[in-house]
Structure 1
Amino acid sequence: MQTSFTAEQLRDPHIATANQILRKCVHCGFCTATCPTYVLLGDELDSPRGRIYLIKNMLERGEAATPETVKHIDRCLSCLSCMTTCPSGVHYMHLIDDARAHVEKTYKRPLVERLLRHVLAFLMPRPGLFKAALILSSLVRPLAPLIEKLGDKRLSSLLALIPKETPPPEIIGQPGLYPAEGEKRMRVALLRGCVQSVLDPGINAAAIRLMNRQGIEVVVADGSSCCGSLTHHMGKEADALARARQMVDAWSAAGVDRVIITASGCGTTIKDYGHMLRLDPAYREKAERVSAMARDITEFLVEIDLPKVSPPKLLRVAYHSACSMQHGQKIKTEPRRLLEGAGFTVSDVPEGHLCCGSAGTYNILQPDIAVKLRDRKVANIRSVAPDIIATGNIGCITQIGQATEIPILHTVELLDWAHGGHEPEILRQSSKG
């Protein structure tokens, strides 16, 4: 793709990066076939190729984003399926991230939308406040259908995502040191996380128990909550970079061999810290080291050669690969290999490359598209008749879980159970039912 940035514009390192990415696009259109929004809407501007044109024009002109451009950028899930498909190596992730930052700086959204985005960006990365908000919101959750009738699907979608009961906090997973059982093989840091630590603290607890039994010492650093992913994908770069620096400092001081992440959306961002902080001389090298140490929990368990075992119960598992796992981190075979090594029968989900519609705050901000994608995903999952669904991202668990009675849980919870841990609560409840 030809570009026409001026020499002055190219002195801006963000524009220079965008220019390099844009020039790699050859207009082939392979990305359109795997883009969820194009598959649903059939609009060229809701495909990666269409958005690339819009972003190019917006950045070349150096003007404020227009409502039309913002509409189509906002509809992007950042699922990164296009990057898996692209034969030219177009790094769409960095391009859409810079475009969102430009939108945030230059475009004034309608008041209600602006307030909603501010509230989400303030509450969700702060576990304490987020939990308090969930408790308060649960009181008005029954009003979601009425609110939707009054015309605000975003608020009703937000309320619908709130769990009926907020899980009690896990003692395992709080900041602290969790010693290895037997001979210590390695010392790792575990991302505590923000939303996941509130919605399902059992995920990190399962990861810690499993790693401890394999001789891994686990550190959960104080303050290592939000990685910055949520605000990064909302274009709020100052907040995202501040959180990235905080995480880099915490893990650099922890003296660890690896940084383990149990939410694949966070993992994609953390592995990109080296790029995000490349312009900060005080953090560039430290961020690159942290990115190099980052591993998804399944990636790490394969790395340490988790032994094969017999399953506690024969179950047919539908493995849903989160977009941030298969497209963002290119982790495709490891989770299935681990589940099969633990004795589970694993089925692939048809149209597995398409997003479930969660995508951070997308299912709140773009509810119509998110619901269509969710229902399509659930129908595909049902077609393989599984006993349970396994995935590696809390957003997918929440999104898919609200539309099916099939138990859905994190891959590491099944692995912990198979390797001597306790049966996940959701499976105990379903067996009683």
Structure 2
Amino acid sequence: MQTHLAPEFQDTPEGQTAEAILRRCVHCGFCTATCPTYQLLGDELDGPRGRIYLIKQVLEGAQPTRATQQHLDRCLTCRNCESTCPSGVQYGQLVEIGRQVVDAKVERPRQERLRRWLLKEGLTSSLFKPALRLGQAFRPFVPAALRDKVPARPPARAHLWPQHSHPRKVLMLLGCVQPAMHPNINAATARVLDAAGIQTLVADEAGCCGALRAHLGDHHGGLDDARRNIDAWWPMVDGHNQPVEAIVMNASGCGVQVKDYGRLLAHDPAYAERAAKVSAMTRDLCELLPPMAATLGRRLRPGAKRPRLAYHPPCTLQHGQQIRGGVEGMMRELGFEISVAPMDSHLCCGSAGTYSVLQPTLSKQLRDRKLQALAPLAADVIVSSNVGCIQHLQAGCETPVRHWIEVLDDALMP
């Protein structure tokens, strides 16, 4: 795609990156076939190709409008289009740049600015957990728009953490909302790793991965989150006594962000080298565990009935990290019956971080479509790999929705 950047963008890293991405696009339109919002709305400007044109026009000097901003807002950033694109267009990076530029030129309505600020600061605040517990206690009185976001109280063993020490050690990011909304995911992860002979370590100073702020337009805040995490992890990543072998992620949304630290901080001389190492060491849980399937298999409860599973692969895993088949393959090796929706497994469920709050109508339409695709599998439990997908899907159905590591944890002997 021929591009002539406006002078204000020509010599900036963002402008140069955007130009290189734009020049790879050949207008083929394959991306529209797999774009969830284009499938729902049928508007070219609500598909990747149309949004690429909008971003190109702005970078060439056109004045963006509120409509431009809304078309970019409606993008889920699921990156399904990247998996489809034959030219390797890095759409996720481009839309990130486009949103920054448009938000700098188009002021949002006051109510919208407030809502986005509350999400950005509230979900990453230490006050989130007590606020959530209050919401659980008074759930019937919570406004309907937020009730879907309030999960049931966690099980008693959600805080049962293994106490064994092992020679093999990994770091784990607890996350910002997961410890409050679904704490059993982290505890189950530590218990399964313990059964595989791996000790899980946590850096108390680490917090939000930065994705939440970045997706809400706070690019610099997202980078600060990344720097804080790198500082918190570095003594164990670069330790001389016994450094950890990996940084494990059990939320694929966090995993795709941390794996991107190297790119995001490549121009920061104080952090570039360390960020690259942290990204290189980061592994999703389904990358780390499969070699230990035989060990875990010996720890399974003999004769126990195992639930029939339907798996929803998050976009951040299959498109963002380009990891497919890891969860299904491992669970099948361990004797579980697990299926994916044959026609719909590549599509987003509509969660997409804060998208389900900011774009509730589209989000619920996508969720309903996903649940309709999963229904014929007649599963006892729906499983996924990302806390946002889990909570979003659970709000729309009565079938239990859990992280796959929780199901595996339940099947292991104490």
Match of 1:212 in 2: 194
Give the 3 Å change call, closer, same or farther, for CA 129–308 of structure 1 in structure 2: closer
Match of 1:266 in 2: 254
Match of 2:403 in 1: 410
Map 1:43-62 onto structure 2 (within 5 A): 43-61=43-61
Asked if 1:328 corresponds to 2:296, the answer is: no
Equivalent AA in structure 2 for residue 40 of structure 1: L
Match of 1:340 in 2: 332
Match of 2:18 in 1: 18
Match of 2:95 in 1: 96
Unaligned runs of 5+ in 1: 148-155, 422-433
Q: CA-to-partner distance for each residue in 1:109-141, whole Å, 9 max, x for gaps? A: 111111010000001122x21112224445775
The match for 2:218 among 219, 224, 236 is 236
Distance 2:157 2:231 in 1: 26
Asked if 1:319 corresponds to 2:311, the answer is: yes
The structural deviation recorded for 1:215 is 1.6
Give the 3 Å change call, closer, same or farther, for CA 189–164 of structure 1 in structure 2: closer
Equivalent AA in structure 1 for residue 150 of structure 2: I
Distance 1:172 1:288 in 2: 33
Match of 1:123 in 2: 122
8 Å Cα contact 1:100/1:234 also seen in 2:
no
Q: Give the match's secondary structure for 1:338.
A: helix
The structural deviation recorded for 1:204 is 0.7
Unaligned runs of 5+ in 2: 237-242
The structural deviation recorded for 1:55 is 0.9
Match of 1:68 in 2: 67
8 Å Cα contact 2:293/2:330 also seen in 1:
no
The match for 1:248 among 205, 218, 230 is 230
Match of 1:132 in 2: 130
8 Å Cα contact 2:132/2:180 also seen in 1:
no
Give the 3 Å change call, closer, same or farther, for CA 8–178 of structure 1 in structure 2: farther
8 Å Cα contact 1:170/1:201 also seen in 2:
yes
Distance 2:185 2:257 in 1: 19
Equivalent AA in structure 2 for residue 342 of structure 1: L
Asked if 1:368 corresponds to 2:350, the answer is: no
Match of 1:281 in 2: 269
The structural deviation recorded for 1:58 is 1.4
Q: Give the match's secondary structure for 2:193.
A: helix
8 Å Cα contact 2:309/2:339 also seen in 1:
yes
- RMSD (Å) for aligned C-alpha atoms: 2.1
Match of 2:240 in 1: none
The structural deviation recorded for 1:235 is 1.4
Match of 1:194 in 2: 176
Equivalent AA in structure 2 for residue 335 of structure 1: V
The farther-off stretch of 134-143 and 405-414 is 134-143
The structural deviation recorded for 1:245 is 0.4
Distance 1:99 1:167 in 2: 43
Equivalent AA in structure 2 for residue 32 of structure 1: T
8 Å Cα contact 1:316/1:387 also seen in 2:
yes
Equivalent AA in structure 1 for residue 132 of structure 2: L
Distance 2:367 2:313 in 1: 14
Map 1:384-423 onto structure 2 (within 5 A): 384-421=377-414
8 Å Cα contact 1:271/1:291 also seen in 2:
yes
Q: Give the match's secondary structure for 2:228.
A: helix
Distance 2:76 2:248 in 1: 25
Distance 1:189 1:178 in 2: 15
Match of 2:33 in 1: 33
Give the 3 Å change call, closer, same or farther, for CA 318–334 of structure 1 in structure 2: same
8 Å Cα contact 2:154/2:183 also seen in 1:
no
The structural deviation recorded for 1:62 is 6.8
Equivalent AA in structure 2 for residue 35 of structure 1: C
Segments of 4+ moved more than 6 angstroms = 166-169
Match of 1:431 in 2: none
Distance 1:106 1:8 in 2: 13
Give the 3 Å change call, closer, same or farther, for CA 106–143 of structure 1 in structure 2: farther
Q: CA-to-partner distance for each residue in 1:160-202, whole Å, 9 max, x for gaps? A: 32225467794456xxx95445xx2x22100011111110110
Equivalent AA in structure 1 for residue 314 of structure 2: A
Distance 2:169 2:62 in 1: 48
